[in-house]
A = this chain, B = another copy of it.
Amino acid sequence: MKYLNNNEFCFIKKILSLPSKSDKNLVLGPGDDCAQLNQWLISTDISVENTHFNLQWGSIEDAIYKCVLSNLSDLNAMGAKAEWALLGICLNKSWGVQEQEKIVSAFQGVLKKHQVGILGGDTVSGDIASFQLTVFGRTPDGDKALLRSGAQPGENLYVTGELGASKAGLWALEHGVADKYPQLVRKHLLPEPPLALGPILHKHQVGACIDLSDGLSSEMTHIALQSGVKIEVDADKIPLAQGLEAFSKKNKLSALNLALHGGEEYQLLFTSKLPESLLILYLQVFKVTFIGRITKGEGVFLNTGDKGLIKVQPKVWSNL
């Protein structure tokens, strides 16, 4: 996992701008967390052995859990709940019956828990394993989804959960010190997106909403660009994961940078004018934190207090 360079970024932009066409059934094309065809919000995610998961670090069940949850998180970001899934399973050709059984029961467990049914799929084998999921969900009223482009000046910026743990956990795995930081590693291997919150935010018609798969700096930039607004985020308000500061100090890393640029968090970042009296419930249940303001203008700026406003450069965290 690494940060995208320009060449890779251009490739993704090009590939997703391929043949488009007008169709009354297409409510939303590429460019957000999901596409929308009629009432169906649709998202697809690939998880590749040695890139997204490493069986030295976690089990097949962990890999499937994370693949499914990261995909459900895309629906959550648009205010939708997953209902159906299509599977694409590539078995590692060295695997046998035991691994096949693990795969069946892992998909069974996580999909059943989230009330997602199987539409169908394809199963093949190859030199390495991969799992690709395509999920279908709907917003509570089947209406338009929450978009990255929905932010307006005057709104506040909120984030759920605590940040930085996933990237810290990955660092610990890569540097052979995973046993010292089990909680951070667990956050990397088994993320817990706030899946109940997306549909609630949709009902309350918040502004923009996105999930933190590519890191806070990158996702704030998406909202700022696609909404045509300026974002000012307060450095001291960004909620750092438990144990992150001690980990950072010990390993000479910056806790703020881990929280700002680390990906695969799957928390929600949203903008809203919701009154605090309504938010108090979410503050408790989903650990919603106020981290900044939406204003007129463009760009993302970090308010550091003593050093003033610093422009934030997005670092798109990717497996490309």
Contact = CB atoms under 8 A, between A and B. Distances in A.
B121 A320 contact: no
Interface in A129-161: 130, 132, 134, 136
Nearest to A99: B11
Most B-side CB within 10 Å, residue of A31, A52, A320:
A320
Interface string A204-242: 000000000000000000000000000000000000000
Given A29-B119, A126-B50, A319-B125, A111 B18 contact: yes
Contacts of A48: 90, 124-126, 130
Given A19-B111, A44-B88, A51 B124 contact: yes
A7 interface: yes
A37 interface: yes
A16 B120 contact: yes
A122 interface: yes
Contacts of A124: 46, 48, 51-52, 318-320
A132 B119 CA distance: 16
A12 interface: yes
Interface in A8-60: 11-12, 14-21, 23, 25-26, 29-31, 34-35, 37-38, 40, 42-46, 48-52
B15 A103 contact: yes
A128 B128 contact: yes
Contacts of A37: 40, 84, 119, 136
Task: Give 9 closest A-B pairs by Cβ, nearest first.
Answer: A48-B126, A35-B119, A30-B120, A35-B120, A124-B319, A21-B117, A11-B100, A51-B126, A18-B118
